[in-house]
Structure 1
Amino acid sequence: MQLINFKEANCKNCYRCVRACPVKAIRFQDHQAIIDDTRCIACGQCFLACPQNARDIQSDLPKLRKAFEKEKNVVALIAPSFAGFYRNKGGFIHGLKELGFSKVVEVSSGADEVTRAYERFMVEENPFYAISSCCPTVNLFIRRYYEELSDYLIPVVSPMLATGKAVKGEDRESYTVFISPCLSKKCEPLTFGNEGTVDAVITMEEISQMFTERNLDPEALSPYRPEISGNDLGKKYPLKGGIGEGFESVLTEKGYDILHVEGIDQVKEVLEELRSGSLGRVFLELNACHESCISGPCIPKKTISTFLRKQLVKNHVKTGWLEKGSTLSFSGMDLKTTYMRNPVRKKQFSEKEILTTLGRMGKRKPKDELDCGACGYDSCREKARAVLEGMSDVEMCMPFMRTRAEHMNDIIFYNSPNMIFILDEDLCITQMNPSAEITFKVKADEVKNLPIQFLLEDQGFSRVKTSGYNDLNRRIIYEEAGLIVMQSILFLPKDNQILVIMSDITEEENRRQELQTMKENTIAITNKVIEKQMRVAHEIASLLGETTAETKIALNRLKEIVQEEGS
Structure 2
Amino acid sequence: MPESKYEEIFKKLVKSAYRGDMDNEMAKIRDGDSITDQYLLYAAGGGDPNTVVFKIRDCSGHCDAGDDNCEAACLFGAIVRDMEGNVVITPNNCTGCGRCVEVCKHYSLVDKKEFVPLIKLLKDRKVPVFAIIAPAFIGQFGPAVTPGKMRAALKRLGFYGMVEVALFADMLTLKEALEFDRHVTREEDFMLTSMCCPIWVSMVKRVYKDLVPHISPSVSPMVACGRGIKHLHPGAKVVFIGPCIAKKAEAKEPDIRDAVDAVLTFRELEQIFEAVGINPSEMDDDESEHSSSAGRIYARTGGVSRAISETLNKLRPERKIKIQAIHADGVQDCRRMLKDVLAGYIKGNFLEGMGCNGGCVGGPKVIIDPVEGRQYVENYSKEAGSLTPVDNKYVLELLQRLGIHDMHDFLDSSKAAMFIRDFGEDSSR
**TM-score by shorter chain over 0.5:** yes
2:251 pairs with 1:189: yes
Say if 2:190 is the partner of 1:129: yes
Structure 2 matches for 1:364-379, cutoff 5 A? none
Q: Please name the residue that 2:88 is paired with.
A: 34
Instruction: List aligned pairs for 1:285-434, cutoff 5 A.
Output: 285-299=352-366, 303-320=367-384, 328-329=398-399, 330-332=402-404, 334=416, 335-342=419-426
C-alpha deviation, 1:278, in angstroms = 2.3
State the Cα distance separating 1:55 from its structure 2 match: 3.0
| CA–CA separation in structure 1 for the residues paired with 2:393 and 2:278 | 24
Report matched runs for 1:91-490 at 5 Å: 91-126=149-184, 128-134=189-195, 135-225=197-287, 229-249=290-310, 250=312, 253-299=320-366, 303-320=367-384, 328-329=398-399, 330-332=402-404, 334=416, 335-342=419-426
Q: Does the residue aligned with 1:265 lie in a helix, a strand or coil? A: helix
1:88 aligns with 2:88: no
Residue number in structure 1 paired with 2:75: 22
- 2:381 is matched by which residue type in structure 1? V
- The reply to whether residue 60 of structure 1 matches residue 114 of structure 2 is yes
Asked if 2 retains the 8 angstrom alpha-carbon contact of 1:182 and 1:298, the reply is yes
The one-letter code matched in structure 1 to 2:161 is: K
Contact kept, 8 Å, 2:325 with 2:351, in 1: the verdict is yes
Q: 3-state DSSP class of the match of 2:230?
A: helix
Corresponding residue SS for 2:273:
helix
* Cα distance in 2, alignment partners of residues 247 and 331 from structure 1: 22
Helix, strand or coil: the match of 1:172? coil
CA contact (8 A) 1:79 1:107 kept: yes
Change (3 A) 1:311 1:53: farther
Contact 1:84 1:294 in 2 (8 A): no
Distance 2:210 2:328 in 1: 20
Cα contact 1:137–1:288 (8 A) shared by 2: yes
1:287 is displaced (CA, Å) by 0.6
- Aligned with 2:327: secondary structure? strand
Q: How has the CA–CA distance of structure 1 residues 92 and 340 changed in structure 2, closer, same or farther, with 3 Å as cutoff? A: same
Tell me by how many angstroms 1:271 deviates.
Answer: 0.7
Give the whole-Å Cα distance in 1 for the aligned partners of 2:96 and 2:81: 18
Q: Specify the code of the residue in structure 2 equivalent to 1:132.
A: T
Q: 1:2 aligns with which of 22, 30, 51?
A: 51
SS across alignment from 1:236: helix
For each residue in 1:431-458, what CA deviation from the matched residue of structure 2 results, as whole angstroms up to 9, or x when unmatched?
A: xxxxxxxxxxxxxxxxxxxxxxxxxxxx
Amino acid in structure 1 at the alignment position of 2:81: F
Query: Residue 331 and residue 222 in structure 1: after superposition, are their counterparts in 2 closer, same or farther (change >3 A)?
Result: same
- Kept in 2: contact 1:76–1:103 (CA 8 A): yes
The one-character-per-residue Cα deviations of 1:47-85 (angstroms, maximum 9, x if unpaired) are 222122333112211332132144221111111111030
Residues in 2 aligned to 1:308 and 1:256: alpha-carbon distance in whole angstroms: 29
Amino acid at match of 1:245: R
Q: What amino acid maps onto 1:267 in structure 2?
A: C
Q: C-alpha root-mean-square deviation of aligned residues, in Å?
A: 2.6
Whether the 8 Å CA contact 2:254–2:427 is kept in 1: the answer is no
Inter-partner Cα distance in structure 2 for 1:200 and 1:210 = 15
Tell me, which stretches of 5 or more residues in structure 2 are unaligned? 1-49, 314-318, 386-391, 405-414
* Distance of aligned partners of 1:89 and 1:176 in 2 relative to their CA distance in 1, 3 Å threshold: same
Q: Write out aligned runs for 1:500-511 (5 A).
A: none
Aligned match of 1:49 = 103
2:130 to 53, 75, 86: 75
* Secondary structure of residue in 2 paired with 1:8: coil
Distance (Å, rounded) in 1 between the aligned partners of 2:427 and 2:129: 36
User: CA, structure 1 residues 3+102, in 2 after alignment: closer, same or farther (shift >3 Å)?
Assistant: same
Compute the displacement of 1:231 (Å): 1.4
Mapped to 2, the partners of 1:6 and 1:292 lie a distance apart of 28
Q: Deviations over 1:137-177 (max 9, x none)?
A: 11111111111111111101111111112111111111111
Question: What residue number does 1:451 align with?
Answer: none
Give aligned pairs, total. 338
Moved more, 52-61 or 180-189: 52-61
Tell me which residue corresponds to 2:10.
none
The answer as to whether partners of 1:178 and 1:198 remain within 8 angstroms in 2 is yes
Amino acid aligned to 1:66: K
Change (3 A) 1:70 1:36: farther
Letter in 2 for 1:312: Y
Instruction: Give the C-alpha shift of residue 281 in structure 1.
Output: 4.7
CA distance in 1, matches of 2:427, 2:303: 30
User: How far does the alpha carbon of each residue in 1:68-125 deviate from its partner, in whole angstroms, 9 at most, with x for none?
Assistant: 1442211111111110302123232222111111111010010001000001111122
| Cα distance change, pair 183–198 in 1 and its aligned pair in 2 (3 A) | same
SS of aligned partner of 1:89: coil
Aligned counterparts of 1:220 and 1:306: Cα–Cα separation in 2: 25
One-letter code aligned to 2:55:
F
How far is 1:32 from its partner?
Answer: 2.6
Partner of 1:94, secondary structure, is helix
Is the CA contact 2:53–2:101 (under 8 Å) kept in the aligned structure 1? no
Tell me if the contact between 1:105 and 1:229 (Cα under 8 Å) persists in the aligned partners. Answer: no
**Tell me, what secondary structure is at the counterpart of 1:308?**
helix
User: Relative to 1, partners in 2 of residues 1:145 and 1:105: Cα closer, same or farther, differing over 3 Å?
Assistant: same
Q: What SS does structure 2 have at the residue aligned with 1:59?
A: coil
Shift of 1:291: 0.6
Higher strand share: 1
Greater relative CO (CA pairs within 8 A, separation 6+): 2
Distance 1:208 1:11 in 2: 32
> Take 1:114 and 1:37, find their aligned partners in 2: how far apart are those partners?
32
**Contact 1:189–1:197 (Cα < 8 Å) also in 2:** yes
Letter in 2 for 1:119: A
Residue 41 of structure 1 and its aligned partner are, at CA, apart by: 4.2
Identity %: 25
Instruction: Call closer, same or farther: CA 1:167–1:307 in 2, change over 3 Å.
Output: same
Structure 1 counterpart of 2:267, which letter? E
